[in-house]
Amino acid sequence: MKASHHLGLALIASCLAMACAVTQASQGYAVMSGQEGAVKKGMSMAEVERELGAPAARVGFGNVPGPTWSYHVADSGFDRTVFDVDFGADGTVISMGERLLPDPQGGITRQPHMHHLVP
């Protein structure tokens, strides 16, 4: 009886954690890894925002023609995983990919995924 009680509490806790991640994703601060596949080369900024919500960050780099939008990945297993969407000068997606933010304590827990150009 006690084991089933602990199992029930664990199930409730995991459901609450997933609900928080989904709520956060709907506010545009994070996405689930399964949502990343919805972003395709040539999509407009409006289409990406419709699919993923508002990004956690919008950054422009001087040597890149368009902005990069960054989303935290809620279900990656690492709290530092980011999904970046790079836009060209015409405002459409030219590449996207995951990356792992540096560990503030200097360690690396896994190699980051590199951005890839979408064929």
The pTM is what?
0.64
Find the mean pLDDT for residues 79-101: 93
Query: How sure is the predictor about 17, in pLDDT bands with cuts at 50, 70 and 90?
Result: very low
pLDDT of 94-114, one tens digit each?
999 999 888 777 665 544 444
As a CATH number, domain 2-117 is 3.30.1450.10
Contacting residues for 64 by C-beta, under 8 A, at least 6 apart: 86
Contact 94, 86 (CB under 8 A): yes
pLDDT of residue 107: 60
Q: What does 7-53 look like in DSSP terms, one character per residue?
A: HHHHHHHHHHHHHHHHHHHHTTSEE-GGGGGG--TT-BHHHHHHHH-
Query: How sure is the predictor about 22, in pLDDT bands with cuts at 50, 70 and 90?
Result: very low
Mean pLDDT taken over the chain: 76
Find the mean pLDDT for residues 53-81: 88
pLDDT of 25-49, one tens digit each?
444 568 988 899 999 999 999 999 9
